[in-house]
Amino acid sequence: MLLFWKRGFEGTSMADLTQAMNLSPSSIYAAFGDKQSLFSHVVKRYIETRAQYAAEALAEPTFSKVVRALFDNTVTFLTGTGHPPTCMTLAGAVGCSTEGAEARDLMTEIRNQNDAAMKERFLAARRAGEMPKNINVDDFTRFISATLAGLSIQAANGATKTELKRTSQTALKMLGF
């Protein structure tokens, strides 16, 4: 997981994988099929384990707490130890060539699913009367998603936890939170 996360789908070779996993290429192919299949397994594991910070934020009881937790949890995740300082769904396969299109499409699907989960939570907040009716939920979802992705890019660029927190606080302030 960490190898794909750090180097991306196309930047990770089978030689890299065999060395990191201490397995022969034939063992990897026997267990997973091909590199794309292994990548899909890795991404599923990432979603089930590492990427739960967003789901935890969406489970907060109020709209305000959800939005704050999305930012706080993202900063905490991006600045955690033991993994690259970025989100795997962005770093893993955004800029793939035609040969990596399946990996790129998988990451796009996951990001779209994440956006759909946010939108659904924001719609629930609207139904509960917590989200102002004059806010377009689709636009708000895209804005939050884009801002969180920007935090990931800033973290990959070397922004510190303090800097990311300040950026988050600025975004929250601009949003009226």
List, in sequence order, the alpha helices (H) in the chain: 2-7, 14-21, 25-32, 35-48, 52-58, 63-78, 88-91, 101-127, 137-156, 161-175
List, for residues 149-175, the tens digit of each pLDDT value.
Answer: 999 999 999 999 999 999 999 999 999
- Does the pLDDT of residue 94 top 90, yes or no? no
Structural tokens at position 133? 């009716």
pLDDT number for residue 131: 95
List, for residues 106-159, the tens digit of each pLDDT value.
Answer: 999 999 999 999 999 999 999 999 999 999 999 999 999 999 999 999 999 999
35-48 helix and 25-32 helix, angle to the nearest 10 degrees = 60
Q: State the pTM of this model.
A: 0.91
Q: Note the CATH architecture for domain 52-175.
A: Orthogonal Bundle (1.10)
